[in-house]
Homo-oligomer: A and B are copies of this chain.
Amino acid sequence: MIVGAGFAGLTAARRIARLPIQVTLVDRRNHHTFQPLLYQVATAGLSPGEIAAPIRWILSSHSNVEVLLAEVVDFNLEQKQVITKEHAIDYDFLIIASGATHAYFGHDEWEPLAPGLKTVEDALEIRRRVLLAFELAERRKVEESAAGNDATSASPLQFVVVGGGPTGVELAGTLAEIARHALNGEFRKIDPRQSRILLIEGGPRVLPAYSAELSRKAEEQLHHLGVEVRTSKMVTRVEPGAVWTGDQRISAAVILWAAGVAASPLGQKLGATVDRAGRVHVQRDLSIPGYKEVFVIGDLAALQDENGRMLPGVAPVAIQQGEWVAKIIARDLENQPRRDFHYFDKGSLATIGRAAAVAQFGKFELSGYFAWLAWLFIHILFLIGFRNRMIVMIQWAWSYLTYERGARLITGSDELPGWTEHESHAEKGRTMEPPISADKRRA
């Protein structure tokens, strides 16, 4: 039994399928989401179908793999059973790879005000809010001029991204690209290029997992794209239409959350110890203490490398752990001793926006256009499904040449939290933080 069809679970399923074992892969969703490109759906560059593929379809050539759409709610490790909402299913080996979601530092009430980005639904909700904000701003202006109120100088739209990790950086960079280029010339009353995109990071620098030099370069590239970066600012409060850092209130038409990570709650059903984020402490063979047939891999697992550093929650770790579990099970079947998992770090890449990225391969560092090309190449290469790869390549080539974004649909509700239709401008002026002047920024 494998629980979860992310990178870890899917890799494990594909590898174990080669063994003479019956595999059941359970997931709450019918599709595998290619998480590294999810921000492109959130920013209207790609359609969901282009970065997600049905799990069944991915595994259809393996006749010993069964895919089950169901929600796992508990385990009975003594009876060797997985408990879904509907039933209990027996297993011989159990691999739990149910991943992680965003965390709000104990403020779950912030979630509807500041959506995070983990699922296709999240991405569509972010896309809806971002595009709707521009539409509502235009509509307000049209109404004002219909009311003969042409002279008001309403504040420009403000977007706030909370969290300066890879997801926050790519969201902010791409939002800036939308405002500066994709929507340019399509509105008659507002100027999308006037929009402000703020990236707020609690720590002293963006992309803290990278070297200080690359962080600095990433920040430079963000500035160049039009993002205002504010580091060492903890968000203390989120309310409809605004974020607080300490006693400073920052108005925001849209707030996006890319700050915290919490492991899947399934980790706490195992009786094993978990870390602060809820990740399960696994042994070096990726099994949990006391149950050598139960493995935890991917973002749900907490494991240190040889130097005592926690392995990051990234796709390469998940994939290598998926492969390793398959090897361990193969050795178990042959009655050979288990071997320890070692993560082989091939390097890491983070994209920032159009022709902007940073890359770190051991001591070798890269930033800007060539890092972006490397990022592009690697992500298209790993994208599942030949057709998806081709279509994503075309979409990107097109976007790159024309600055257009192909999936700019608003579906669902036409309301934004904190957006009031006839907000008075005196009121708005009072609460809106003054723009940073160019001088001040340079200082």
Residues of A at the B interface (CB closer than 8 Å) are: 24, 28-31, 44, 46-50, 52-54, 56-57, 60, 63, 66-71, 86-90, 120-121, 124, 131-132, 135-136, 138-139, 142-143, 146-147, 183, 185-189, 387-388, 390-391, 394-395, 398, 404, 406-412, 414, 421-422
Residues of chain B lying within 8 A (CB to CB) of residue A408: 30-31, 49, 53-54, 57
Bound complex: CA A136 to CA B404 (Å)? 39
Q: A131 contacts which of B30, B143, B188 (Cβ < 8 Å)?
A: B30
Query: What separation, in Å, do the CA atoms of A126 and B327 have in the docked complex?
Result: 42
With A49-B407, A387-B406 as known contacts, state yes or no: A188 contacts B66, CB within 8 Å.
Answer: yes
Which of B60, B69, B406 has a CB less than 8 Å from the CB of A185? B60
Looking at A88, A120, A146, A421, the one whose CB has the most chain B CB atoms below 10 A away is: A146
Where chain A touches its partner, the secondary structure class is mixed
15 of the cross-chain contacts (CB-CB < 8 Å) are A30-B132, A31-B409, A46-B49, A48-B407, A49-B409, A52-B409, A68-B139, A69-B132, A69-B136, A86-B143, A86-B422, A120-B409, A387-B404, A390-B394, A391-B406
Complex CA distance for A408 and B44, rounded to whole angstroms: 19
* Stoichiometry (number of copies): 2
- Closest B residue to A128 by CB, please name it: B30
Closest-CB distance, A303 to chain B (whole angstroms): 32
Partner of A54, one of B87, B185, B390, B409: B409
Give the residue name and chain of the B residue nearest to A143 (CB): B87
A316 CB to nearest chain B CB (Å): 25
Contact B409 A135 (CB under 8 A): no
- Least CB distance from A46 to B in Å reads 8
Q: Which B residues touch A188, using CB under 8 A?
A: 63, 66
